[in-house]
Amino acid sequence: MQIFFLSMPVTILLIFAVWGIVPLLLAYLCLKIPDRFFEPTRFLWREHRFEREGRLYERVFQIRRWKHLLPDGGGVWKKRSYKKRNLSDYSQENLHRFLIETSRGELTHWLGILPFWVFGLFAPPQVIWIMLLYALVVNIPCILAQRYNRPRVYALYKRRYPDAI
C-alpha cells in the first residue's frame, strides 16, 4: 500500500538507490553471522536427496551452460572476501571455507529477494510485482549456483578428508 507519493523521477531514483544499497547491506550483515551457522551439515545448507549431488541443477536448469556468467560478489568486502569463481586450493581449510562461503552467499541471495515489498511504500502498486520479478531474476540463479556447487565440493571434501567430518 503506497504511503509516500513522490514525483516519478524521485521514485525512480529511490528504486535504484534501494536496489543498490540493500544488497550490499545484506551481504555485510551476512558476513557478521558466525561461520558455525553456515556449517555444511546444517539442515539449510546440506545436500538434500532430491538434489542428487547437484545433478538436478544440471538436468533441469542446464546450470553448466550459464553459471560462468554470474558475478562473484566474494570480493566486495576486502577484509572478509572470499572469491568462489575458481577453486584452485584443495586444502582442507580452503575447501571448508568454500563450503561456508557458498552457504553464506546463498543466505545473502535469499534475503535479497525479501526487500521487494519496500517499494510498495513509495511506488505504485504494479511496481511491487515488477520489483519481485527483478528480485527473483537477480537472486535465484545465484542461489541455484550455490546449491549446485556446494554438494559437489562437499563430496570432494569427504573423499579427501574423511576424518574431518
The one-digit pLDDT tens for each residue of the chain (165 residues) are 888 898 999 999 999 999 999 999 999 999 999 999 999 999 999 999 999 888 999 999 999 999 999 987 766 655 566 777 778 889 999 999 999 999 999 999 999 999 999 998 999 988 999 999 999 999 999 999 999 999 999 999 999 999 887
In a domain, 113, yes or no: yes
Host domain of residue 65: 8-164
> Is 0.85 surpassed by the pTM of this model?
yes
Number of domains in the chain: 1
Inside any domain, residue 3: no
To the nearest 10°, report the CA torsion of 87, 90, 91, 95.
Answer: 60
Residues comprising the chain, all counted: 165
Which pLDDT score, from 0 to 100, does residue 74 have? 66
The verdict on residue 41 lying in a domain is: yes
Please state the separation of Cα 62 from the chain's center in Å: 18
Q: Is residue 2 part of a domain?
A: no
Instruction: Tell me whether residue 114 is in a domain.
Output: yes
What is the pLDDT, as a whole number, of residue 80?
66
**Looking at the domain assignment, is residue 150 inside a domain?**
yes
Q: Does 116 map to a domain?
A: yes
What is the rounded distance in angstroms from the CA atom of residue 40 to the CA atom of residue 153? 10
Cα 5 from Cα 3, distance rounded (Å) = 7
CA distance 23 to 11: 19
Q: Is residue 158 in some structural domain?
A: yes
